[in-house]
Amino acid sequence: MPLFYKGIGVGTHHHGSNLFSMGLTARKPGGARTVNALTTHIVRGTTTTPYISLTRSFGVAEMYAFASRTAPTPANPAHVWEIEIDDPPPSGVTVLDPMAEIVTSLPSPLAQFTYQHDGDQNFLLGVVDPPGLGLNAHLHRLVRLPPGVDGPRTPNLSDELQALVRALRDSEILVIGTIPQSCFRHRHDVC
């Protein structure tokens, strides 16, 4: 069965919950389930949505667990939960690959407005922006424009492109519904 991970920081919504006995429900299970809402969930980090973010990577989950509302300590650690979800998933649970959801909603390549950027070849490094490397500056490098075109300006950065890049970076999978307690295999303490 595929394994997923969920990082939960100290003081965050589910930190005090025993997921072995309660399972896990999104903060706003009745919220809008649209590609737009899904994209916003990933791009803005909005937590009050019907989506639960999981990752295929223990390392990514651990980084999210360390993102706590107070520093994790041995007495009050953050947690990485190990979750197994069957195929097909339990009743009432929908598992989404955000990449697939966003890609199928992208406009035609002939559409006036596109998700694609018009910056240089390093522009995506700025979108990924590994912490501490200062690559964010690539986002603000002016677009090269042909002679006679009005400028200067910074490259186009669509929400769709940001969501695609960040979902890939975080090996992100989204779940709708309640992940039942039987799916929770292990809780790793992180501090």
Binding site for other proteins (CB under 8 A): 9, 11-12, 43-48, 62-64, 66-74, 129, 131-132, 166, 191
Q: Between 7 and 23, whose beta carbon lies closer to other proteins? A: 7
For the purposes of burial, counting CB atoms within 10 Å of the CB of 178, is it exposed (0-12), middle (13-18) or buried (19 or more)? middle
Q: Nearest approach, Cβ of 9 to other proteins (angstroms)?
A: 7
CA geometry: angle 82, 30, 66, nearest 5 deg: 35
Torsion, CA 167, CA 171, CA 177, CA 178, rounded to 10: -140
Task: Report yes or no: 183 and 84 within 8 Å, Cβ to Cβ.
Answer: yes
Both tokens of 134, joined, read 């200062």
- What's the CA gap between 4 and 13, in Å, rounded? 19
Q: Nearest approach, Cβ of 132 to other proteins (angstroms)?
A: 5
Q: Between 15 and 141, whose beta carbon lies closer to other proteins? A: 15
Q: Which amino acid is at 98?
A: P
Q: Between 89 and 135, whose beta carbon lies closer to other proteins? A: 135
Place of tokens 């706003």: 28
Q: Between 48 and 182, whose beta carbon lies closer to other proteins? A: 48
Q: Nearest approach, Cβ of 45 to other proteins (angstroms)?
A: 5
Q: Nearest approach, Cβ of 128 to other proteins (angstroms)?
A: 9
